[in-house]
């Protein structure tokens, strides 16, 4: 039995310490994802806390055929969506550095962070699919399980997301060249 | 890893987030304050056999009573019922001046070309997707 499986078994029997150790390595990645999906940093922290509490409470429903991270992300996405449903601010409208938790967490750079651009241009689901693929290295099947979509839907929308961001990346490169040539 | 994937990874790494000691404490405290739901939920207590006999007999008795009441209250058909709806409905016939459309060869050719283009586009998209994922 792997270390993760042993921790899951111990946590299922009621060991909060085992669960805390189990999720320790996932917390930062989850918070980073939630920061990009929340309208404030405090909301992202609340969503992370709710995610971990729900995961612990409903650990008996975890199906070991899936990766544990897949299951955690499914819960995190639901929590982020629930917090945002009560919020009137659209994520794409967050432009100024003070109110946008994503802009707040990004180091100053001379070009826009692609994830800010993605948040503005892609739908919630496509954005999440892109994040899970290119940041969390999830397979298409795992992404489909997290989003509760078919594998073909995931493939097609990853492709669309790529095209949109590729165009944005190339536009930036063209702008840089224009500036260089005056 | 292609250029876009590399850039996406780098840009994600630039998002600096860390779990503050306060948040860590908050999470640990809340985890210790809850108990996970049990794996196997105990089912409802089984009912005695007499309960099932009693409920079955009650159901049969209720069905018999309803059938009896419905049959007793059913009205007898009156003489006017035989004549109702006897008025024939005459609809005027409309003569349509229509001709069967025949596709001329340029149009057929156009459709074939469009279908061929569509197949080519589908194939190109499928190849792109297979190449990437």
Q: What is the mean pLDDT of residues A59-80?
A: 90
Contact A48 B38 (CB under 8 A): no
- What the block records as the tokens of B133 is 């994922």
- Distance of alpha carbon A155 from alpha carbon A157, whole angstroms: 6
Report the pLDDT value the prediction gives residue A33, as an integer from 0 to 100. 92
Q: How does pLDDT run across B19-35, given as a tens digit for each residue?
A: 999 999 999 888 888 87
- Distance of alpha carbon A40 from alpha carbon B37, whole angstroms: 31
ipTM of the complex: 0.80
Nearest-CA neighbor of A28 among B6, B20, B25? B20
Report the residue of A56, A119, A170 to disrupt the B interface, i.e. the one with the largest count of B CBs within 10 Å.
A56
Report the pLDDT value the prediction gives residue A99, as an integer from 0 to 100. 62
- Domain coordinates in residue numbering, chain A: 1-88, 92-182
- What the block records as the tokens of A20 is 């805390």
Assigned CATH for A1-88: 1.10.1740.10
In B, minimum Cα distance to A112 occurs at B11
- Paired with A106 in beta bridges are B15
Q: Report the 10 Å Cβ neighbour count for A8.
A: 19
Report the pLDDT value the prediction gives residue B42, as an integer from 0 to 100. 52
DSSP secondary-structure letter at B1?
A: -
Helix then strand then coil, % of chain B, to nearest 5 = 60, 0, 40
CB of B19 less than 8 A from some CB of A: yes
DSSP secondary-structure letter at B39?
A: S
A34 in Cβ contact with A80 (< 8 Å): yes
Report the pLDDT value the prediction gives residue A139, as an integer from 0 to 100. 93
Number of residues that this document lists for chain B = 133
Q: Which CATH architecture has domain A92-182?
A: Orthogonal Bundle (1.10)
Report the pLDDT value the prediction gives residue A136, as an integer from 0 to 100. 92
CB of A1 less than 8 A from some CB of B: no
pLDDT category of residue A172 using cuts at 50, 70 and 90 = low
């Amino acid at each position: 039995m792997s270390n993760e499986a042993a921790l899951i078994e111990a946590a299922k029997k009621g060991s909060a310490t085992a669960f805390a150790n189990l999720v320790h390595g996932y917390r930062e990645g989850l918070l980073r994802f939630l920061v990009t999906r929340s309208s404030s940093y405090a909301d992202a922290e609340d969503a992370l806390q709710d995610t971990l509490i729900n995961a612990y409470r409903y650990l008996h429903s975890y199906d070991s055929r899936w990766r544990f991270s897949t299951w955690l992300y499914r819960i995190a996405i639901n929590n982020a969506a629930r917090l945002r449903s009560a919020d009137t601010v659209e994520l794409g409208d967050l432009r100024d550095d003070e109110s946008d938790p994503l802009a707040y967490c990004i180091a100053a750079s001379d070009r826009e962070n692609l994830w800010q651009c993605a948040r503005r241009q892609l739908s919630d689901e496509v954005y999440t699919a892109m994040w899970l693929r290119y940041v969390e290295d999830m397979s298409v099947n795992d992404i489909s399980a997290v989003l509760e979509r078919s594998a073909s839907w995931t493939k097609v929308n990853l492709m669309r997301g790529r095209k949109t961001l590729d165009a944005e990346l190339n536009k930036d490169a063209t702008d840089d060249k224009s500036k260089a040539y005056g | 890893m292609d250029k876009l994937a590399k850039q996406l990874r780098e840009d994600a790494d630039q998002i600096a987030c860390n779990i503050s000691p306060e948040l860590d404490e908050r999470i640990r405290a809340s985890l210790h304050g809850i108990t996970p739901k049990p794996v196997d939920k105990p089912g409802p207590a089984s009912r005695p056999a007499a309960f099932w006999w009693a409920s079955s007999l009650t159901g049969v008795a209720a069905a018999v009573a309803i059938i009896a009441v419905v049959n007793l209250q059913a009205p007898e058909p009156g003489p006017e019922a035989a004549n109702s709806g006897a008025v024939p409905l005459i609809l005027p016939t409309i003569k349509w001046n229509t001709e069967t459309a025949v596709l001329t060869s340029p149009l057929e050719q156009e459709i074939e070309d469009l279908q061929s283009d569509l197949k080519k586009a589908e194939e190109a998209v499928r190849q792109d997707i297979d190449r990437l994922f």
